Each structure stands twice: as C-alpha cells, then as structure tokens.
A and B are shown apart, each in its own frame.
Chain A
Amino acid sequence: MSKKNDYDPSEIQKRMGMKAKNRISNTVIYVVLVIMSIVWLIPFFCIVFQSFRVESTWMAGYVFPQKWGFDNYINLAKTDFWKWYTNTFIIAVVVAALQTVIVLCMSYTLSRFRFKIRKGLMKFMLVLGLFPGMLTMIILYRVLKDLGMTQANAVPGLILVYIASSGMGYYVSKGFFDTVPKTLDEAARIDGATRAQVLWKIILPMAKPIVIYTILTAFMGPWGDFVFARYISMNTSAGMNVAVGLQSWLSLDQINNRYTMFCAGGVVVAIPVTILFLCLQKYYVEGVTGGAVKG
C-alpha cells in the first residue's frame, strides 16, 4: 500500500467498514465457540456432579446433588472396580511398550528399506485391514480358551491379541520416517555405520515425537477397548477391563443401584488418562495431522 492511500477518505471509510464487519463476524464466532464449549463440556460436568450424589443411586433426571459426598467413590472399593482398573492398567502398560517396538520396527523398515516383497506386503496388509477385526474374534476366543487365557485369565490373552497384529498400524509412523531425509542414513553408512547403528544412533533420537505418539495411542487403546475385552473375559468379572466392567453396571438389572457409582468410576478412569493426554497433546496432534496428510 502506498502512503497516499492512508489519507484518502474513501479508503479510510472502506477500511473502517471492513473493521466493523470483522468485529461483527468475530463476535458471531465467539458466540458460536462459547455455545460449542458449553455443549462439549456439559456431559463432563454432569458426570462429575452426579458422581458426588449421595441421596440416590439410580439414574435420576437431574444434575446437582441434593446431598454431596464421596460415598460413590468409597463404595467402589466394595466392588471389583479396582480389579478391573488394575487389569486395564497392566494391559495398557505392557501393550504400550511392546506395541511401540513392533510398530516402529514395521514402519521404519517399510519406510527405509527397498526389498523385493515390500510393495506386495503393504498391499497385502491393506487388504487384511479391510476385514472387520471382529471376525477373527470367534476363533481367537476359542484358541485362547484352550490355552487357558480367557475369562479370569483374560489379561495375558488380551495383551497377546492387542500386540500380535499391531504391526498393521504402521501408517502414521511410516509417514513420519518418510519425512526424515535419507541423506542422513547415507552419510552415516559412508562413515561405516551398520543399518542397525543408523536406527539406534541416528533415527531413533530424532524420532522422539513419533515414539511418544505411538506410546500414547498404544497406552490409551486398552482403556477404551470394549468388544475384544468383553469377548475374552466372557462375563467373568475378574477378567474384565474398566470398559466392560463399567458397562455391565448400566445393564437393566444393575443400573438402579450402580448408576452413580458408574459416574464415579468413569471419573476415576478418566482423570489420569486425560491428564496424560493433555500433557502429551502436542505429540498427538503432530501424529494425527501427519497421518491424515499422508493417508
């Protein structure tokens, strides 16, 4: 813009008009965002309030308790809740560790090496991924049952099921490795490093964001898994994870006694996972964005 325009009355008027228009549209946006925030937060406020309700345990149609107290939280200890919690926690930690190793192996290999069956392998896994995962549950359940890894012993069985096929979820981290320049590898190779050393000493230190992303998603997966956990624990309380256990409290015959305890349990489950997630949010966002762009 040339200096002259600043003193041109019509230009000033136009700019002020723009400004006013901008202010209006910003106000509209703020209103929309505030409404959205309320809609997004309401369920979480409601669940917290209802978890402190003492006067009744059923699914009453109001939010604010008439009598406040920690009864629901204390009563959790009288149920299998902490057993479910421990189960889920153990599964999540083991899966986070092993799945990360497997996913990184797979994605690094597919990104960096060019070998004969590479393309075929990727296509094959794409096709495998189109089958509904639940289909395999029928046979896995029966095989695991023969091995004694179902019902009360569901934890090792679930760990096995989660990690065994995790190599197929390599897309996001492969996308990341694709963006790391190959010249780095080549330079190190010229200096006499083996491929394994390149991975350990050069690529992995650079791959911190994607490692954290993989650990985070692997850790959060088991907290929310419902269908596999329900299938393998097969109505045995000792082998359930939190999702299956808490869902059973909402069944028709239990909801009247357990509804507020469900809320309390939900809060107890959500707090650590949510805090962890919000702390590592940055890495999650990077991973998700990269994954979508790469497809």
Chain B
Amino acid sequence: MANYSDLEYLRLSKGQRFAYKLGHFFTSIPSAIGRLFANIGRGIGKGVKGIGKSLGDIGSTFRNGDGITKGSFVIMGLGNLARGQILRGILFLLFEIVFIFYMVTTGAYWLSMLPSLGHQGPAQEYNPIYDTYVTTYHDNSFKILLYGVLTIFFIIAFIYTWRVNLRQAKINQEMREKGLRIKSGKDDLRSLVDESFYKTLLALPLTGIIIFTVLPIVFMILVAFTNYDGTHDGYFNSLFSWVGLENFNTMLSWEGGGNVYSATFGEVLTWTLIWAFFATFSNYFLGMFVAMMINKKGIKFKKGWRTILVLTIAIPQFISLLYVSKMFAKNGIVNGFLMDMGWIQTALPFFEKAAWARITVILINIWIGIPYLMLIVTGILMNIPADLYESAKIDGASGWKQFTKITLPYMLFITGPYLVTQFTGNMNNFNVIFLLTGGGPTNPNASGASGSVGYTDLLVTWLFKITTGAESKYYLASVVGILIFVVVALITLIVYNLLPSVKNEEDFQ
C-alpha cells in the first residue's frame, strides 16, 4: 500500500481517496494485531521483571534486616508490632493465623484433590443398621473444583500480603534507624477517609466482583476442560473429571467435514454476526435519521414526538417483546388484521420460516432500538458547533452535503466506541431473541447438537439452551461461552486499536 503525503492525497479523486482510506483500514489491521501482541508481550515482560525485582528486594530485606525484620519472614506483622504499629501488626498476624488454620484443616485437602477432581463417586453400600444397601456419597467434584480455585486465590492473596508485610518491616526498620516517627494505627484509620479513601470505597465493589464474577468465570473456564454435565454432576450421580481439550475439539473440529457441533457452531456464529451487524447499524442510522427529523427547525411538538418514542424504553422490555411476539404469531393480531382486510388469504409465517423470522426480529429490534439512538443522537447533535453549519450554508452546501460532511463524521467520531459496545451487546442480546422467537424456527440440521438449535438462535441463547436442556452439557456451554469471549474480544481489540478517539482518556478531562 502506497503511503501518500498530504499534498499527494489532496490531488486524488474522491473514489481514489475512498479506496486509499479503505485500503489503509484493512492494511492497518495486521499491524493493530501486531501491536496488540507486542503489548501483551510487553505486559508479560514487565510482570516477569517485577517478580525478579521483588525477589531481589526480598533477598536484600533479609540480608540487611535486623532480628525483627528477619522474624517477619515467619511471623507476619512482627515488624509492625515490635515497632508500635499495633493495628497493622494484629491484622497481619490474624491473616496469617487464619490462612494457616484454613490450609491445615481444609485447604490442603481441596488442593490435593484438584488434579483428580475426586476418586470415589456415590456407591451402593451395605448399612448394618438398616440392614440394607443405601447410596452413600463420597467425593464432590463440584466442591473440589470450586474450593480448589478458591484456595489458589487465597494462596495468591497470602503471598501478596506476606510481601507487603516484608516491605513494611523493612520501611519501619529504616525509619527507626533514621529516627523518624512511624505511622500509628490512628494515622492509618484517618488515612482511610483521606489519602487512601479509594481503598475504603473500592473494598466492597471489588469483593463483590471477585466473588461473583471473577471466581465464577475462572471456574467456568476450567469446566470447559472437564466432562461436567447433567449426568456427571460431581456428587449425586457420578463424579466428573478432566478431559483436556476434548470439548474444544468437539466444538471446533472440521476433520472429515466436521460434526454436528462444529457445523452448528459455524451456522450460529454466522447468524450472530449478521444479526449484530444489522441490529447495530439499522438502529444507528435510522435512529440518527429520526433524531434529525425531530430536531429540524420548524417541526413542532418536539417533546411530544420524543415522549411517544421513549415509551418503548419506559415500559419494561419483556412486556413489549412478549406482546409483540404474540402480535406476529400465526393467529395473532397482525395476521388477523391482514386477513380481515382481505390482503392475504393464509397467515404470513413471521416466525415460522427461517428467513421470515430473521427479518422479523431485525425489524422488531428497530422498533425497540430507535428510541435509544434518538435520545443519544439528539444529545450529540446539540453539541455540534452551529457555526460549522452556518459556514457550510454560506458556501452553498446542500442539506445532504451538510449531513455527509459535518454530521456523519462528527457522529462517527464521537460514537465510535459506543458502536463497538453496541455491536458486542447485540451479539449477546439474549432478551430480544429469546422473548421474541425463543430461537426458533427449529433448525433440522442441528438436531444432533445439544439444546434444539433454531435459525434465530444467537450463541448466547444456544448457551442458555444447552445448560437447561435435559442433558445440561455444562462443559459445552462453557466452551461456547469462551468462544463468545474470544470473538467479542477480537472485534473489540481490533476496532479499539484502529479508533483514534479512545486512546487518550485524560484528554477529555
């Protein structure tokens, strides 16, 4: 791809300029990906370097440390307690005691079971008291995996705290040697509402995120490498165990024309991307169009028009979606009306045929989505400097030209990141698809794949169906979940790397 200088670029015709820009967009994708990997590599390098530095620091702490500092290696908080920081010292010590107690009593057991996920499943055993055979339950794979992961989290937290304890012991020793005052517990508490107020504010939200998002996600990623499903629930019927990459192989293998899973995955992914594309851009441009119509000078009742549209946001979405889905049903109002008017003889198959259903959901999604876009665009339109339009008018630019030269570029620049989140949000738009069609009409080609896949099923609705079906193949659901993440992450990263407006957060402040 040739690189033109500014002057050369200006000499090009319109078509050439467009081709040039388009070419650059695509040729910059590899370098964007390259940059991404370079960044990841740099991050890992930084991490390794940090660990190395940390180890060196620990070594020097030990060498230069006095008895108390050296003691902190074993008894956490000693460096604080012996130097008057009672509060910190007690907290460190308490943490150590809890950790050791936990590891000795249960943690070690969970860790030791993690590689096997349990040896003995439920069995019929003779019970001498009842003089009969009863089912006895033994290991619990689910708990082993869950608590195993928790224990690893706990160990990482412990190592980090131990490291902080050493650093403080070292600082305290140095301060003492220089004869400086060491911060008291009172200072610490005061700092929690002042300089380190952020720690106080973040404590609760981050705990919630770690327990209810990070831990489950790590757990579910690990499930993708096991055979956890309805018939291997890990406790009541039989244990589950590690299976390596087998599940990914099932879902992605194209050997010999692939299997029903890989074929279904390909089909569902394709539709998911098509859906996300149309759902995002149809709403975007139509919403912009509607906003501009309402905003046009001389149009009255601006507020009234907006309020009518906003009703679809105000009314809980599930009501409107469920109701509209019934309106378009075979014996619903729409078909009833069209037949009463004599325009059609038989009911239109809005949700019964693949192509019909797909177009119908996209159209209904426009009905749902335009109001949001209208609100957003209205806000942005008011921010476009009016003098841009004034000078365009003086230059004799037509309305269309003003739109393509001022409004659209401005909108695209401002809402670029929003479009990306919309796109990925639509890929995971469970409610609209599930409440409108339930994924149907059923796709006969995919009958062998878990969870009766339909033509309007997105990857997320398929994931949901897999987990709720009779077989409940959780391991496949988790593979699908991971693949959704990969697709969404790739799209996000590539686009974000290409967008100019997201690079500098501080610029806007």
Contact = CB atoms under 8 A, between A and B. Distances in A.
Interface residues of B, number: 100
Interface stretch (B53-61, B100-108, B120-128, B301-309): B301-309
B409 to A, nearest CB: 15
B212 A164 contact: yes
A142 B472 CA distance: 13
Contacts of A106: 201-202, 205
A295 B416 contact: yes
A242 B313 CA distance: 17
A194 B375 contact: no
B464 interface: yes
A106 B213 CA distance: 16
A196 interface: yes
A130 B216 contact: no
Q: Main SS of chain B's interface residues? A: helix
B391 interface: no
Given A125-B209, A195-B194, A227-B434, A39 B367 contact: yes
B329 to A, nearest CB: 7
- Measured as residues with beta carbon below 8 angstroms from the partner, the interface class of chain A is 35 or more
Contacts of A246: 318-319, 322
B296 A243 contact: no
A227 B464 contact: yes
B133 to A, nearest CB: 27
Taking each of A22, A139, A168, which has the highest tally of chain B beta carbons within 10 Å of its own beta carbon? A139
A194 B315 contact: no
Contacts of B449: none
Contact of B290 (A36, A274, A288): A36
B264 to A, nearest CB: 17
Taking each of B208, B312, B327, B509, which has the highest tally of chain A beta carbons within 10 Å of its own beta carbon? B208
B31 interface: no
Contacts of B346: none
B431 interface: yes
A121 B190 CA distance: 25
B219 interface: yes
A214 to B, nearest CB: 13
B380 interface: yes
Contacts of A187: none
A115 B198 contact: yes
A167 B197 contact: no
Contacts of A281: 307, 310, 314
A61 B336 contact: yes
Contact of B313 (A166, A277, A291): A277
A185 to B, nearest CB: 11
Contacts of A44: 311, 315, 320
Contacts of A166: 205, 208
A263 B320 CA distance: 10
Nearest to B491: A130
A293 interface: yes
A153 interface: no
Nearest to A127: B489
Contacts of B372: 288
Interface string B476-487: 011001001100
A289 B373 CA distance: 9
A61 B211 contact: no
B508 A285 contact: no
A165 B208 contact: yes
A36 to B, nearest CB: 7
Interface stretch (A2-10, A25-33, A73-81, A205-213): A25-33
A237 interface: no
Given A43-B320, A137-B467, A195 B142 contact: no
A131 B209 CA distance: 13
Interface string B415-438: 111100100100010110011000
A270 to B, nearest CB: 5
A226 B431 contact: yes
B294 interface: yes
A203 to B, nearest CB: 12
B480 to A, nearest CB: 8
Interface in A153-200: 160-161, 163-168, 178, 182, 194-197, 199
5 contacts: A33-B299, A40-B371, A134-B460, A278-B314, A292-B418
Lowest 5 A-B CB distances belong to which pairs?
A61-B336, A289-B379, A295-B417, A167-B205, A164-B212
Interface of B: 142, 146, 190, 193-195, 197-198, 200-202, 204-206, 208-209, 211-214, 216-217, 219-220, 223, 290, 293-294, 296, 298-299, 305, 307-320, 322-324, 326-327, 329, 331-333, 335-337, 339-340, 367, 371-372, 375-376, 378-380, 383, 414-418, 421, 424, 428, 430-431, 434-435, 459-460, 463-464, 467-468, 474, 477-478, 481, 484-485, 488-489, 492, 501-502, 508-509
Given A142-B142, A165-B213, 4 more contacts: A26-B299, A60-B331, A61-B339, A278-B314
